[in-house]
Amino acid sequence: MKKIYMFRHGETPADNMNRLAGSHNMSLTENGKMQAERLVDFFKKNPIEVLFFK
């Protein structure tokens, strides 16, 4: 069975301030960096065939 995973960027300072960042390039918070690392670990254990992103 095929699986579809949906995820978004990790936490940014704008998220903590309940602000919309739009198309601005913001750094990740320490929590956001940990979220990204967990995503890397997840995909190491769950390989994917195709990746689409925007």
Residue 47 Ramachandran class (φ > 0 left, ψ -120 to 50 alpha, else beta) = beta
Domain that holds residue 22: 13-45
| Predicted confidence band of residue 13 (pLDDT cuts 50, 70, 90) | confident
Q: Residue 17 and residue 6: Cα distance in Å, rounded?
A: 24
- Whether residue 7 is contained in a domain is answered as no
Continuous H helices in 1-54:
13-16, 30-45
1 vs 41 pLDDT, higher one = 41
- Whether residue 27 is contained in a domain is answered as yes
**Per-residue pLDDT at 21:** 63
- Whether residue 23 is contained in a domain is answered as yes
- Whether residue 17 is contained in a domain is answered as yes
